[in-house]
Amino acid sequence: MRITVEVDDKTLKEVHRETGLAKKSPAVNRALELFLREARKRRLIERALGGKTDFRLTNEDLEKRSAYDAD
């Protein structure tokens, strides 16, 4: 999807540095992916701390799961 968005030069430079990507679109896409990944982690932690997560999996089950199965 194409969109037009204004990004502060300082912010974009930091995104380039943090992602290691020189081109704008890939760097912004990666930054968005990282933001969403962190948001999902935060929600999981909040659910776990609030007692809203069911941890019936065994250690073996957890090791078989991908790190991205936390959604």
Question: Is 18 within a domain?
Answer: yes
Would the pLDDT of 54 be above 80? no
| CA-to-CA separations, 46 to 21, 23, 26, 39, 41, in angstroms, rounded | 31, 35, 30, 10, 9
Question: Is 4 within a domain?
Answer: no
18 token code pair: 């943090």
CA 61 distance to own-chain centroid: 23
CB 19 within 8 A of CB 30: yes
pLDDT of 5: 93
pLDDT in tens, 19-53: 999 999 999 999 999 999 999 999 988 888 887 87
pLDDT of 57: 75
Question: Is 3 within a domain?
Answer: no
Q: Would you report the helix, strand and coil content of the chain in percent, each value rounded to 5?
A: 65, 0, 35
The number of domains in the chain is 1
Could you tell me the residue range of the domain that residue 34 belongs to? 9-70
Answer yes or no: pTM beyond 0.85: no
pLDDT higher at 7 or 68: 7
